[in-house]
Amino acid sequence: MAVHYRHNREGAERTLAALPGSGHALVPGDLRDTAAVLAIVDHAVEALGGVSVLVNNAAEAPLARTMHRIDEVSFEDWGAAWERMIAVNLLGAAHLSWAVARHLIATASPGAIVNVGSRGAFRGEPDHPAYGATKAALHSLGQSMAIALAPHDISVTSVAPGFISSERQAHTLAGDAGEGVRGQSPFGRVGTPEEVAEAIVYLASPAAKWSSGAILDLNGASHMRM
């Protein structure tokens, strides 16, 4: 497995150390840089001897510091938030998908792409509209690629998690807003990274080939859509 990071090498090394087996690799790069995206895939292919699965998990997250309500922020901050989130959440994923798909096609290899979208693509994100919009676009991109890549035996799916208990959200969950966040789900809790990972492992497997084009909700019944 190749673990990508932009600047947090220490965190990436911890993730790498937690992986079972051997032969894993770290691949640095800024997804806002098109040339760096191509280098990330080339590095992964060289280190692993090929790539068969891509998980588009990198994102500019909806945090307090990235909030950009239209009725509160300046035009400069509004524009900066949109440009940053489009560059990483959408264009970064699109360019990585192109590079991995072309590698698979060139080698006549089956494969899978799994996009990590969001519940916010469907329910609206007033504090982080660019986040919701880019995640909705990522879902749409995945469905378009599912049709285009099926003739090459490459499946493309997406997951749409709700609130997840990640390290970057620990402060929110421990603070005054934590109870309200947990109360969004009738289970009375938030999801875990492991629950999301298990769904991704399935969608990336040959057993899920016929699920190509699907968007799997992972939000503990906190948001229902038709």
Give the strand order in the sheet containing 53-56.
Answer: 53-56, 111-116, 154-161, 215-218
Q: Is 5 a catalytic residue?
A: no
Ramachandran region, residue 163 (left: φ > 0; alpha: ψ -120 to 50; beta: rest): beta
Q: β-strand 154-161 against 25-28: which pairing, if any?
A: unpaired
- Asked whether the beta carbons of 152 and 97 are under 8 A apart, the reply is no
Catalytic residue among 41, 131, 159, 191: 131
Taking the CA atoms of 61, 156, 206 and 119 in sequence, report the sign of the dihedral they define. Answer: positive
* DSSP category for residue 91: I
Give the residue from 219, 221, 213 showing the smallest Cα distance to 139.
Answer: 213
Compute the distance between CA of residue 84 and CA of residue 131 in angstroms, rounded to an integer.
10
CA angle, 146 then 119 then 130, to 5°: 90
Phi/psi at 126 (nearest 5 deg)? -60, -30
Enzyme catalytic residues: 131
